[in-house]
Structure 1
Amino acid sequence: MSKAPGILAPWKRAPSISVQKGSQTARHTCLPEAPFRNCLLSVYKANPLTVTHPWAEGLDQVVIHVGALSLKESQELAQHAAEIGADGIAVIAPFFLKPWSKDVLINFLKEVAAAAPALPFYYYHIPALTGVKIRAEELLDGIQDKIPTFQGLKFSDTDLLDFGQCVDQNRQQQFAFLFGVDEQLLSALVMGATGAVGSTYNYLGRKTSQMLEAFERKDFSLALNYQFCIQRFINFVVKLGFGVSQTKAIMTLVSGIPMGPPRLPLQKASREFTDSVEAKLKSLDFLSFTDLKDGDLEAGS
């Protein structure tokens, strides 16, 4: 049974919004975006002073990424997340001194989860960036026996065999399976993804929402056309060179809100990149630049 309605409702409330603190597209050494069940709105924290209780209360759902290279820092961030009323926490594997086995990784995650025992806990699986090659399927086997608050994972990998086995072997657990490879989202939906978290939803939200709606209507041909359109843009920017700097440039272009330069050693995206992206977005009908100039950010979602 498709769980796309759980994705669509948040999209209709807040299309293509992803507030990212301490994430891959923001400013923290722990790169990822935190997942949380059936929602595309994600919030992260890099500094305990960054997120306050009133601010968190103003959002529908708040899942804070608390991963760090230091276990103590992760625990402190987890405790703070609980204090400000977060709805959950997420953790990436430590990636400098890497865990070499499932048991070692689970022991690390267990200690972080124990610092906020009342909060749902999510694991952020992104082996291409962490270098931690422990398969998610293996990690999930028996994980709730060690981490009772475990609720799911964000899967940011192109290994659809691993993802499919995560879903297939945990059907009774009702975990959240949030997919993080934007250009493969439709494939993940077919395999049972319950949600998605990704950086491109900030500016490709309209087409992605249309793809989700077509998938829910079982109009798979139309859904595939939308996915191909999204892939055309992602393929275009990847060939130009695409990362955090370029994401900031695209968000500045789309929203009209200056996102600022990236931190060193990253370099600011070139004007040539921005001009090329603007032309590509227009050619693919992703944005209404007339509406954007009028300050209507939702029109470009």
Structure 2
Amino acid sequence: MTDNKLSGLIAATYTPLHDDGELNLDPIAAMTDWLLAKGIRGLYVCGSTGEGMSLSGAERRVVAEAYVKAAAGRVPVIIQVGHNSLAEARQLAAHAQEIGANYVSATCPSYFSINDVDTLIDCMAEVAGGAPELPFYYYHIPALTGSALDMAEFLERGGKRISNLVGLKYTDTKLHVFLQCLQVDPERFDVVWGCDEMMLGALATGATAAIGSTFNIAAPLYLGIMEAFRQGDMNEARRLQSLSVEMIRTIGKYPFHAAMKSVLGMNGFNIGGCRLPQGRLSESEIERLRNDLSSLGYFQWSQPSSSLSTNSL
């Protein structure tokens, strides 16, 4: 099991679909190359962004295999295996280990709520045990799972029970809790930020890595935020973070992930819409979104340039 912690921008990858909603694996290799060329330093597969919860177990396996193959060892690949069936989640974890993924991660079951840390530890021990050779990150996203338990307590107590627990994907907005988690055995635990709109605040709190959806379409912007922060240029860091907020606000006027897939289409990747209940944008909606993004200057500042360094973190 590797001791290396994640660093920099990790893209929460999208799952390409044909117009009929079936998997379309063909764009994954080119999309992966494109992301890496933009400065992405890891791939988080079949998470919320990748519609993992809308895919069958068999589909999740082939998507995971495609991204591991596309990455070809150049960047770490984290496979998200969370499922309401812990047995299936454990099998997905075992599969991730078998195909050569670097890490495994999981949300908690959400249909039946988890209301105490002991139960959460029991559930994650079951899942992580499916891939004992891989480092395991718990995916904390209370807005979707409904589980808003004390994550510092989970790390403190879960680390004693789950030998391969190495940290959290922390997708929440509570910076004070994020700070508490960072301070729990920092030699062992890696706490990765997961709210794109608040990256600057997370950097100030101590984040050294982030997993996000909009890194797929605007990696240079976020690398610019990191570089400005590193240089101590807070005015520039705030300016760039404001662009991120406006971009996300604009995309959020539509079903978010369907709109994000449309923006990837504007960047040359035809990866379809989303599975229901998320759906897809109409042609008129796509055109309005394109115009709105253009008015923000998105098609200029989303591209690598000398002012948005890719060498930070």
Taking a change above 3 Å as real, the CA distance of residues 51 and 114 of structure 1, as seen in their structure-2 partners, is: same
Separation (CA, whole Å) in 1 of partners of 2:189 and 2:126:
20
- In structure 2, the residue corresponding to 1:93 is in which secondary structure? coil
Q: Is 1:276 the counterpart of 2:277 in the alignment?
A: no
Instruction: Give 1:222-241 correspondences, 5 Å limit.
Output: 222-238=236-252, 240-241=253-254
From 67, 71, 79, the equivalent of 2:86 is 71
1:204 to 192, 214, 218: 218
Give the counterpart of 1:29 among 35, 39, 53: 53
Structure 1 residue 151, shift from structure 2 partner: 0.9
Are 1:25 and 1:247, in contact at CA under 8 Å, matched by a contact in 2? no
Q: 1:195 to 1:179 in 2, by over 3 A?
A: same
Superposed displacement of residue 272, structure 1: 3.7
- List aligned pairs for 1:35-46, cutoff 5 A: 46=59
Residue equivalent to 2:299: 287
- Find the aligned partners of 1:220 and 1:73 in 2 and give their Cα distance: 46
Within a 5 Å distance, the mapping from 1:1-301 to structure 2 comes to 6-7=7-8, 14-16=38-40, 21-29=45-53, 46-52=59-65, 54-55=69-70, 57-168=72-183, 170-238=184-252, 240-253=253-266, 255-288=267-300
Distance between the aligned counterparts of 1:228 and 1:127, measured in 2?
25
Q: Superposition RMSD on alpha carbons, in Å? A: 2.9
Measured after TM superposition, the shift of residue 175 of structure 1 is: 1.8
For residues 251 and 261 of structure 1, the distance between their equivalents in structure 2, rounded to whole angstroms, comes to 11
Going from structure 1 to structure 2, the CA distance change for 1:270 and 1:8 (only over 3 Å counts) comes to closer
Please give the alpha-carbon distance, in whole angstroms, between the structure 1 residues aligned to 2:10 and 2:212.
Answer: 17
- 2 CA distance for matches of 1:141 and 1:214? 33
**Equivalent residues of 1:125, 1:153 under 8 A apart:** yes
For the Cα contact (< 8 Å) 2:221–2:240, is it kept in 1?
yes
Q: Secondary structure at the match of 1:100?
A: coil
Deviations 1:209-239 (A, max 9, x none): 111111111212211111011111212332x
Aligned residues: 272
Distance 2:224 2:270 in 1: 28
Unpaired segments of 5 or more residues in structure 2? Answer: 1-5, 12-34, 304-309
Tell me: CA distance 1:189–1:20, structure 2 relative to 1, closer, same or farther (3 Å).
closer
Could you say if the C-alpha distance between residues 20 and 277 of structure 1 is closer, same or farther in structure 2, counting changes exceeding 3 Å? farther
3-state SS of 2:121 partner: helix
Deviations 1:100-145, CA, capped at 9 Å, x for gaps: 2100010110111112111101010000011112122221223211
* Contact 2:261-2:272 within 8 A present in 1 as well: yes
In the superposition, relative to structure 1, how do residues 261 and 86 fare at CA in structure 2: closer, same or farther (>3 Å)? same
SS in 2 for 1:225: helix
| Superposed displacement of residue 14, structure 1 | 4.2
CA offset at residue 186 of structure 1?
0.6
Instruction: Tell me, yes or no, if the aligned pair for 1:156 and 1:179 is still in contact at 8 Å.
Output: yes
> How far did residue 91 of structure 1 move?
0.7
Q: Identify which of structures 1 and 2 has the higher relative contact order when contacts are C-alpha pairs closer than 8 Å and 6+ apart.
A: 2
Q: Secondary structure at the match of 1:89?
A: strand
Task: Output the CA distance in 2 between the equivalents of 1:184 and 1:55.
Answer: 30
Match of 2:143, SS state, is helix
TM-score with structure 2 length normalisation?
0.78
For the Cα contact (< 8 Å) 2:107–2:139, is it kept in 1?
Answer: yes
For 2:26, the equivalent position in structure 1 comes to none
